[in-house]
Chain A
Amino acid sequence: MAVSIAPKETADLNAMEDEAFRTHVRAWIEGNYPAELRNPPKRLHWEENKPWYFMLAEKGWLCPGWPRQFGGMGLSPAKQIIFTEEVERYGCARTNDHGIVMVGPLLINHGTDEQQQYFLPKILSGEHIWCQGYSEPNAGSDLAALRTEAVLDGDEYVVNGQKIWTTLAMDANWCFLLVRTDKNAKKQEGISFLLVDMATPGITVKPIINLEYHDEFCEVFFDNVRVPAKNLVGTPNRGWDMAKALLSFERIYLGSPRLSAYAFTRLRQLAERMGVWEDVAFQDTYGRLRLDLEDLKSLYGSFVDKLRRGKTLGPDVSMLKVFQTELFQRITDTMLEIAGENAGLLEPMEGNRNLNPTGLYIQARPATIYGGSNEIQKNILSKNVLGLPG
């Protein structure tokens, strides 16, 4: 899949005024995004979303957060948020973005020159599609209990174990993997990051059908998989700290109002279609959800401001993830309540993907589970923010 891509736009866009930047991004998306990929009812596989990936790559807009010297846009956090808002506003599909969002920042911060030079261009070109090997059957909420082990044998690690909930692993040709490299250390202190070519003998990928009847997640089995030792990122046995840093980034992403905001626009369309829009009781419910969404945006904005001022986010960012995902669920709960018997249909109503209450309801269910369940987020808040004992 060797692709050679020369980005068209290489100017530093940070110099633009925010509103001019927003208009610039919006115009390009509206002029280029493939209409048939707008607001996909399910997460798209690589074969479906790659036209968008390549379009972004050619434009030079694939990696808004990466520094410019690595081929990214080098956007400030504030500009990145505008960029994301515009992508979401238009209903652009999520790409296979683990390389962009996770592996890039990991290697830029902790990788060797050789790793950076080898891997980063292949993310930018779409040659490498990454998946994230974190959770295991017995290490979900308790991620640090992971047991997939990597034993050094000469200049190779031999990996054995199993990962689960690996998003779109069947599309990926590389995996960034948390492995146990020291069984005797405290559980957080014996974990390392390995980069693994999915074509290596001994890897088996088994899709999991989820409640959407979709194969978004996979189990990945490792049976004596030999990985070059040079594919270890950072310091051996210090992988947990790097993973945690990436997870806090994930938390602000999962706390972004985009999912709730999207569902909220669809709630109004559904209410109009079902003839309850004018209903006083519905308006009261709708008003409550709308104010929750407004306040979520304000709270999100306050975290974004911190980033804008160059501060790093603390454990309190977990608040966003909790409130956003619960709001997303409450909005979709309301959808089912007003949908009548359409609440039991598998497909969008009347073939209209904007009237998809059951699809959104099902998609909202795991939001309080993935990315660190809300129970775990509340543990973080009570212990690390409030300082409660235990």
Chain B
Amino acid sequence: MSQALDERSESIRMIRDSAGAVAPRDGDTKRVRALRFVEPGFSREVFAEMGALGWIGLAVPEAAGGAGLGMSEAVALQEEIGAGLAPEPLIPAMLSARVLAAAGDTALLGPLLEGGKVVLTAWQEKADSIAVPGTGDAPRVFIPMAGGADAFLLPVREGNRIALVSLDAAGADLTLEKAMDGGFVGTLRPDLSRASHVADDIGAVLEQALDEAALMTAGHMLGLMEKAFELTIGYLKTRQQFGRIIGTFQALQHRAADLKIHLSLTRAAVESAAAVLDDGATGAVRQAAVSKAKHRAVESGMYVLRQCIQLHGGIGYTDEYDVGLYLRRGMVVMNQYGSAGLHRRRFMALAPEDVE
């Protein structure tokens, strides 16, 4: 057991180290800023690099060409990605890879795992939902970075099952909207007559993949919080007003201590949920763990990010200073794969007193 834990912490450390290639540790945001509001909103080269580093297939079984690692590694990676503000749609790509691997597909999975093709799953039909109705030609909404997709995967209900079809992005009816962080989200109006059949029944694996995506998003939020908090602590230690370092004011010290508590709560919720999933939890146990983590990440995350702006004062409200970039990204990810309210309701509905 302890050897397994050691191996796990070693793989997490290696993942964190490798993230430096894409999300610079020194907090340089030049790359991120240059990509803002320029379609598709991310770099295909960096996406390919993510593939080459094995990240897209991080949680895909080795037999299917992935790295065979788990959620503990995935949330650690997302923490680094969030801290570095990388805009590439890694979580949506990992979701697609998970579904394709379970479906036994190879034609799309191979290029996706290499990062050569961007394959995004267009599952969502309305805001603040993690349900997959699979309504044939219903518009699919809020597809992150959809303008950079080579292909879309569509869950489509066929009787009691959710089948999977793919749709070439070229020629697809896609509209893009600008996102707060400089990225884009797309609405796809699918023409199923152009679609190719991929698999008969992916309902259960898609449900699992959406849970994993929600958990990874919580990890991403944790990274945003950590970096914004680090900037803020640095500011409290250097900014002077009234002839004193402002970090010597007790009111601000107490607020900083509160933020640290929220950071620790979020880390504990996210990492413990990842461990639950890595232990092979299914059904209500998995869902409750994920909901607990995502709820905490949104509640504490937005609180911390807001306070980081406040503690900076006017400079925190400028675009030139980086702390606002974290708030903007936080706004984009907070309700992806379910809002705090949705996860709170789901957690309560699962009667966790019984499942824990």
A contact residues vs B (CB 8 Å cutoff):
135, 138, 140-142, 145, 164-165, 208-211, 213, 217, 274, 281, 329, 333, 336-347, 358, 361, 365-366, 368-370, 373, 375, 378
Contact = CB atoms under 8 A, between A and B. Distances in A.
Contacts of B291: none
Given A340-B339, A341-B335, A346 B177 contact: yes
Given A208-B319, A366-B314, 14 more contacts: A138-B240, A145-B241, A165-B314, A211-B319, A217-B318, A337-B339, A339-B335, A340-B335, A344-B332, A347-B178, A358-B180, A365-B327, A369-B313, A369-B316
Contacts of A164: 314
B313 A140 contact: yes
Interface string B300-324: 0010001001100110111110001
24 contacts: A135-B314, A142-B241, A142-B242, A145-B242, A145-B243, A211-B317, A281-B341, A339-B127, A339-B128, A341-B124, A341-B141, A341-B336, A342-B127, A343-B335, A344-B179, A344-B185, A344-B332, A344-B333, A344-B334, A344-B335, A344-B336, A345-B180, A346-B177, A346-B179
Interface string B220-256: 0000000000000000000011110000000110000
Contacts of B335: 336, 339-341, 343-344
B306 A370 contact: no
Top 5 A-B residue pairs of the complex, sorted by shortest distance between their CB atoms: A340-B127, A340-B128, A344-B332, A341-B142, A346-B178
Nearest to A364: B306
A147 to B, nearest CB: 13
Contacts of B252: 375
A211 B177 contact: no
B328 interface: yes
Interface in B123-139: 124, 126-129
A326 B273 CA distance: 33
B101 interface: no
A165 B314 CA distance: 8
B177 A345 contact: yes
For A135, A208, A370, the residue with the greatest tally of chain B CB atoms inside 10 Å of its CB is: A208
A165 B341 CA distance: 37
B331 A358 contact: yes
B297 interface: no
A140 B242 CA distance: 10
A165 to B, nearest CB: 5
B96 to A, nearest CB: 18
A365 B178 contact: no
A209 B318 CA distance: 6
Given A138-B240, A208-B318, A345 B179 contact: yes
A339 B127 CA distance: 8
B177 A347 contact: yes
B181 interface: yes
Interface in B283-301: none
A373 B312 CA distance: 11
B97 interface: no
Contacts of B216: none
For A208, A217, A340, A366, the residue with the greatest tally of chain B CB atoms inside 10 Å of its CB is: A340
Contact of B331 (A141, A336, A347): A336
B59 interface: no
Nearest to B333: A344
Contacts of B251: 375, 378
Interface in B327-356: 327-328, 331-336, 339-341
